[in-house]
Amino acid sequence: MGQFCALKLPQSGSILRAQYHPPTFAAEVYKSYLHCASKIIKHYDGVITAFDGDRVMAVYIGDRKNTNAVRTALAINHAVVKIINPKIETEYPEREYVVRQSIGIDASQLFVAKTGVRGSNDLVWVGRAANYAAKMCSLREGNYTTWISETIYTHMHDSVKLSGEGRTMWEERTWTAQGLTVYRSSWIGPHRKESLYDSHAFASNPTGAAHLAQSQHLNHQG
């Protein structure tokens, strides 16, 4: 049992769209997306706990867990909007395929249990954060891809609340199904292209994500 920040991200409806494309193309897109997301998660000190198809769950601990999780979400949105999707359009113009993803983030006490049998087991994360982070992914509307709980918003650093010009990056909404206040954002950043994109599938000269956090610029999408 411990205090964790949980981040969950799926590609919205991607399974349905993938059926209309060759399996090799769908696998290439999934691999690119998951590779970028995983590099960014690890860069911001997240620990990947599970892959489920095109979905990823990660947890963050420590004093900066809330801010690090939000930075991860904004950076992944940048990778999708500014790098992966334009690259797909360039390399496969006939496919008309657009990666649409959504990220949910919450923090709470989580209980970790080891389940399964010897030689075939896994960890199960039980608690509000894991549950709400997953459910918030379904709240995506338009370009609003990042959804966070009030707990996250209250405790994250101002550098991921306000842009460099002092503009708020978040809109307060009511999650009707749960009767809770949540916040959504369509902002992207940091936006250092050569650092963010390191995909085996599309990048001809990948350079990795070692310096991803050096740029603190944030851009509003749409």
What residue ranges do the domains of the chain occupy?
2-216
Exposed (0-12), middle (13-18) or buried (19+): which is 161, by Cβ within 10 Å? middle
Whole-structure pTM value? 0.82
Q: Which residues pair with 101 in a beta bridge?
A: 11
Tokens 């696998």 locate to 27
- Give the separation between CA 12 and CA 15, rounded to whole angstroms: 8
Closest among 143, 145, 111, 113 to 9, alpha carbons compared: 145
Per-residue pLDDT of the chain (222 residues; tens, 9 = 90+): 556 888 988 765 554 455 677 888 888 888 888 999 999 999 999 999 988 877 899 999 999 999 999 999 999 999 999 999 999 899 988 888 888 899 999 999 988 888 888 888 888 888 899 999 999 998 988 899 999 999 999 999 999 999 888 889 999 999 999 999 999 999 987 533 333 333 333 333 333 332 333 333 445 564
How far lies 178's CA from each of 132, 140, 181, in Å? Answer: 9, 16, 9
The fold adopted by the segment(s) 2-216 is Alpha-Beta Plaits (3.30.70)
CA angle 89, 213, 109 (to 5 degrees): 100
